[in-house]
Amino acid sequence: MIDIERIRRAYSRFLVPGRILLSGHSHQAWPDVAREAQLEAFDDSARYVDEKWEHAVLPLVETVGRGVLKRQGFPEDDSIAFAESTHALLVRLFGALEAEGGSIVTTTGEFHSLDRQVRRYAEDGRRVHWVPASPRLGLAERLVDAVRKAAADGPVVAAFSAVLFEDSWVLTEVGAILSECHDLGVTVVVDAYHAFNAVPLAWGPAAGSAFVVGGGYKYAGFGNGLCWMRIPTDCALRPRDTGWFADFASLAEPREAAGAAVLRPVRYASGGARFAGATFEASGFYRARAVLRHWDELGLGVAELRAISLRQTRRVLDGLRGRGVLGEGKPLALGSDDDDARRGAFVSVVHPEAGALSAKLRQLGILTDSRGERLRLGPAPYVLDAEIDTALDVLATLVAPTGNR
């Protein structure tokens, strides 16, 4: 039995009177323990000064890595790299893969971090195969077909989302896609940001071969600035974009003499550290550790969080239909899928003035967001049913024809 009042007590700083948070898919509220962890980061810096890395931060990175991998459905001892954004990690990965040549297969439904970067690669002559993301049904088949065709001409990187950011469409075929790509010798990069801590994914038997990026800003409540990439165990790539933390252990060793005829090859640490950058802001790891404990103490694993989310998003869908504003011939069209298995942790509804609607809702204390003509409504575990109902009442009033108000 979920104790909603206990959950809400853990968010006293974010849950203020007069505000309803339906932006959990974009900016998840931070539990109070995150604030305490931020102060702990300061205190450790004061206590250890320059020795904070060995005494506090690096052990903390390992702890958070194990927690993230567990909640993402991977073994806790898998390799993982962290950075301030998924973009930083993708640039390091694609730069390392560039030496192998080949093409990129991706979809037209990817988040900007991947979409913009791949488009820029295409400007420089990198071959990119764009798979139409719509209609959503059949996307997996179209993606696999494009990968097969591209693989016939050389090395391929397949990059796609497990949950699409515009409408929370869940690509339930991820495991099958990984298996197909593994058999073809194709490198796979999965954007699992909109799945982490919200949608359990069945990775399948080829899970070990995938690069998987994600972050804690959306459904985990870690705050911003902490993203990661799960890395295949046998990865031996040598990123061109490489920082000094990628070989932290050898920093004290002498360098070659200036002008040496033969330079020693740049070395990389094992595991995820090979994708590390330079000095990073450590407070995100303090927050992440505290919030991971928060979820565990509340008994909210990914399966439990998924159950809460499905019930809430179903309440949104049924509530809008019950208020007569969602459906054929109604002011709002369904932008997400009605099938629970295909719907992630938010509801997308289509309206020609979605941006203006979101702005009006915000003025009334109801936080949502929009993408084009899609208004996105993202409940979270700390949101009351009564708050959802109030938000739906307001939204229905805003979109109802003038004569019906």
For the residues 133-143, what does the mean pLDDT come to? 98
Q: Is 35 exposed, middle or buried (0-12, 13-18, 19+ CB in 10 A)?
A: middle
| 251 pLDDT above the threshold of 80 | no
For the residues 387-395, what does the mean pLDDT come to? 98
Query: Which residue ranges make up each domain of the chain?
Result: 4-30+301-400, 34-294
Q: Tens digits of per-residue pLDDT, 203-244?
A: 999 999 999 999 999 999 999 999 999 999 889 999 998 988
* pLDDT value of residue 260: 63
Tokens 């801590």, located at residue: 197
Using CA atoms, how far apart are residues 78 and 100, in angstroms rounded to an integer? 24
Q: Tens digits of per-residue pLDDT, 286-301?
A: 999 999 999 999 999 9
Percent of all residues in the chain with a pLDDT value above 90, rounded to a whole number: 88
* pLDDT value of residue 261: 59
Q: Tens digits of per-residue pLDDT, 39-92?
A: 999 999 999 999 999 999 999 999 999 999 999 999 999 999 999 999 999 999
Q: Is 28 exposed, middle or buried (0-12, 13-18, 19+ CB in 10 A)?
A: buried
| 403 pLDDT above the threshold of 70 | no
> 103 in helix, strand or coil?
strand
Residues 6+ apart with CB under 8 A from 16: none
Tokens at 211, concatenated? 């690069």
> 138 in helix, strand or coil?
coil
* pLDDT value of residue 98: 84
Using CA atoms, how far apart are residues 191 and 366, in angstroms rounded to an integer? 29
Letter string b/e over residues 38-56, b meaning 16 or more CB atoms within 10 A of that residue's CB: bebbeebeeeeeeebbeeb
| 405 pLDDT above the threshold of 70 | no
Q: Note if the bond before 135 is cis, omega within 30 degrees.
A: yes
What is the layout of strands, in order, in the sheet containing 227-231?
A: 79-83, 227-231, 210-215, 187-191, 156-161, 103-107, 128-131
| 262 pLDDT above the threshold of 90 | no
Q: Tens digits of per-residue pLDDT, 328-350?
A: 999 999 999 999 999 999 999 99
| 157 pLDDT above the threshold of 60 | yes
* Residues 233, 88, 187, 249, CA torsion sign: negative
- CATH class for the domain made up of 34-294: alpha beta
Q: Tens digits of per-residue pLDDT, 7-17?
A: 999 999 999 99
* pLDDT value of residue 259: 61
pLDDT-derived band at 358, boundaries 50, 70, 90: very high
Write phi, then psi, for 227 (nearest 5 degrees): -125, 170
* pLDDT value of residue 255: 66
Q: Tens digits of per-residue pLDDT, 368-381?
A: 999 999 999 999 99
* DSSP bridge pairs for 104: 128, 157
> Could you tell me the CATH superfamily of domain 4-30+301-400?
Aspartate Aminotransferase, domain 1 (3.90.1150.10)
Using CA atoms, how far apart are residues 365 and 351, in angstroms rounded to an integer? 20
* pLDDT value of residue 252: 62
CB 394 within 8 A of CB 403: no
DSSP codes of every residue in 146-190: HHHHHHTTS-EEEEEESB-TTT-BB-TTHHHHHHHHHHHT-EEEE
pLDDT-derived band at 246, boundaries 50, 70, 90: confident
DSSP codes of every residue in 368-403: -EEETTEEEEB--TT--HHHHHHHHHHHHHHHS-GG
* pLDDT value of residue 257: 62
* pLDDT value of residue 270: 85
Mean pLDDT of the chain: 94
Percent of all residues in the chain with a pLDDT value above 70, rounded to a whole number: 95
Residues 6+ apart with CB under 8 A from 72: 192, 196, 201, 212, 214, 230
Nearest to 217, CA basis, from 308, 291, 278: 291
Residues 6+ apart with CB under 8 A from 9: none
For the residues 161-167, what does the mean pLDDT come to? 97
Element (H, E) at 367: strand 366-367
The residue type at 208: G
